[in-house]
């Protein structure tokens, strides 16, 4: 059993161990760097770069989708109620059906909407 020391600086064994540790610290750190820290750091850096590239790509896709989507004024213009058929005059879409019924209502009631409609 070791005697209890009131001051650790009084121990010759501790001093020798501290000197050995200080002498071995530099080479041990260099060896640990060579044996794996550098490889782990390189892999972690590569993973971070891949994650960042994926994030930038997602942002680019979002910006592209946003730029292709219609602006608020364009949406208002598209949703504005008109009594005209679509430019292709297909006869099947909602704009063409509405135009057909608006023309019939105009002829029958004198207004494009059915009487009692709130528009």
Sign, Cα dihedral of 67, 70, 74, 76: negative
- Which token pair is 49? 């770069």
pLDDT for residue 104 = 92
pTM over the 0.85 mark: no
Q: Is the pLDDT of residue 115 over 70?
A: yes
> Distance between CA 95 and CA 83 in Å, rounded?
8
3: left (phi over 0), alpha (psi -120 to 50) or beta: beta
pLDDT for residue 119 = 56
Backbone angles phi, psi at 24, to 5 degrees: -90, -15
Can you tell me the mean pLDDT for 17-38? 76
Can you tell me the mean pLDDT for 27-46? 77
Can you tell me the mean pLDDT for 44-61? 89
36: left (phi over 0), alpha (psi -120 to 50) or beta: left
Q: Is the pLDDT of residue 97 over 90?
A: yes
């Amino acid at each position: 059993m070791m005697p209890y020391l009131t001051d650790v600086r009084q121990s010759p064994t501790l001093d020798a161990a501290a000197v050995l540790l200080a002498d071995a610290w530099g080479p041990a750190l260099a060896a640990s760097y060579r044996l794996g820290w550098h490889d782990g750091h390189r892999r972690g850096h590569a993973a971070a770069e891949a994650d960042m590239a994926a994030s930038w790509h997602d942002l680019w896709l979002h910006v592209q989708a946003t730029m292709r989507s219609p602006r608020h004024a364009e949406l208002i213009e598209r949703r504005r109620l008109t009594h005209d058929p679509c430019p292709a005059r297909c006869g099947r879409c909602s704009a063409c059906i509405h135009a057909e019924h608006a023309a019939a209502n105009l002829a029958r009631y004198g207004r494009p909407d059915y009487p009692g409609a709130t528009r």
